[in-house]
Amino acid sequence: MSFATLIGNQHQKTILQRLLRGGQIATTFIFAGPDGVGKRRFALTMAKAANCLTGAPAEGFADDCCDFCQVCCRIDEGTYGDVTTIEPDGQFIKIAQTRELAVEVFYRPREGRHRFFIIDSAERLREEAANSLLKTLEEPPPTSTIIMITSRPDSLLTTIRSRSQKLNFSPLTTGEMEAYLKANFPRPAPDTALLARISEGRIGQATAFDLSVYRQQRRTLIELLEILSDGNNRYRLLKAAEFLGKKERNEFEDELDLLSSLLRDLFILSTGKSIDSIVNIDVAESLRNLAAKVGTDRLILWAEKTDRLRAGLRINLNRQLALESLLLDLAQTA
């Protein structure tokens, strides 16, 4: 992608493009922010702009790339000699990896104009590995840029942070996310709208998400809430608890997250607020009916009890028992 087509984090884009134009990129950057908000994409776009075959000015660098030339394509494929990505080898980034980087960084570009070293998940640099980089980070040679990508900037050594220029990246807004998905992953409008909301502004999350599984889980949970709204149908509730409790732990936690998200949507709808602020916008009508049936007071209670179960899940190993008691408890608030 080029800067022109990247969506979100406009301020960070402006800063990077200004540095490129001024030729002031031989430095160490920390790109900080939650997973999936585009930090790596920004780093690669910067590398493409600096090395793109079209429109390189005599001084400084172009502030965007063409996205089509041989260099842009090879950087996207990960086969360009002047863009190196370092990722954890196993659990950590090891000292052998950083020692190699510390040597490599001083060589002139092999084929392009400027070299880029992207350290992904930089919070997993072991202390000795990080220390071996300090001198390099302080004064990268004029033809190299180091970009450390991390979702946990606070866990980087202070000595690393003080030698780097930090840019904070944020999740995209729902509007930005919809525009991005529409342009890059065309699908039916209700799917795009739903995905933009579920992914909480994280592109990485949106592109890896399986909507059909989500919708299936959601259908089960909405049915469950329908049963609850009808009062105390003990038999059907226990059947539902049995079904949900049999899930693997991760899946069970996902379902509780989804239940919380549905309850939040129902609460919003029960107070008469606009549907724009709910997540499950593609089933807004049936949620609105359900919300009216349950009522705001009961929804608040349900949400509280569900949150309590989520918090207790860490100590309560018997998921099914916990779930049964939650559901019976919820039904009794009818």
> Which among 33-41, 66-74, 211-219, 276-284 is the span making contact with Zn ion, rule CB under 5 A?
66-74
d(CA 89, CA 103) in angstroms, rounded, equals 19
Nearer to Zn ion by C-beta: 65 or 203? Answer: 65
Nearer residue to Zn ion within complex by CB, 47 or 105: 47
Question: Of 19, 37, 47, 65, which one interacts with Zn ion (CB under 5 A)?
Answer: 65
Rounded to a whole number of angstroms, the minimum distance from the CB of residue 81 to Zn ion is 15
Using CB under 5 A as the binding rule, whether residue 43 contacts Zn ion is answered as no
Measure Cα distances from 237 to 152, 299, 305 in Å. Answer: 42, 17, 16
66 binds Zn ion (CB under 5 A): yes
Q: Which is nearer to Zn ion, 55 or 142 (CB)?
A: 55
One of 26, 56, 69, 301 touching Zn ion (CB under 5 A): 69
How deeply is 228 buried, as exposed, middle or buried, from its count of CB atoms within 10 A (0-12, 13-18, 19+)? buried
Cβ 83 to Zn ion, closest distance in Å?
13
Residue 321's DSSP bridge partners are none
| Binding residues among 120-159 for Zn ion as defined by CB under 5 A | none
> In angstroms, how far is the first alpha carbon of the chain from the final one?
53
Residue 67 CB, nearest distance to Zn ion (Å)? Answer: 6
Binding to Zn ion by CB under 5 A, coded x per residue (else -) over 1-40, reads: ----------------------------------------
- Name the minimum Å distance from CB 25 to Zn ion: 17
Residue 118 backbone phi and psi in degrees, to 5: -105, 115
User: In angstroms, what is the minimal distance from the CB of 65 to Zn ion?
Assistant: 5
The two structure tokens encoding residue 167 = 């840019």
Give the C-alpha separation, 300 to 109, whole Å. Answer: 60
170 near 42, Cβ under 8 Å? no
Q: Given the complex with Zn ion, which of 65 and 222 has the nearer CB atom?
A: 65
Choose one: 46-54, 85-93, 189-197, 259-267; the region binding Zn ion (CB under 5 A): 46-54
> Is residue 75 within the footprint of Zn ion (CB under 5 A)?
no
Q: Which CB atom, from 43 or from 52, has the smaller least distance to Zn ion? A: 52
Query: Which stretches of the chain bind Zn ion, using CB under 5 A?
Result: 52, 65-66, 69, 72
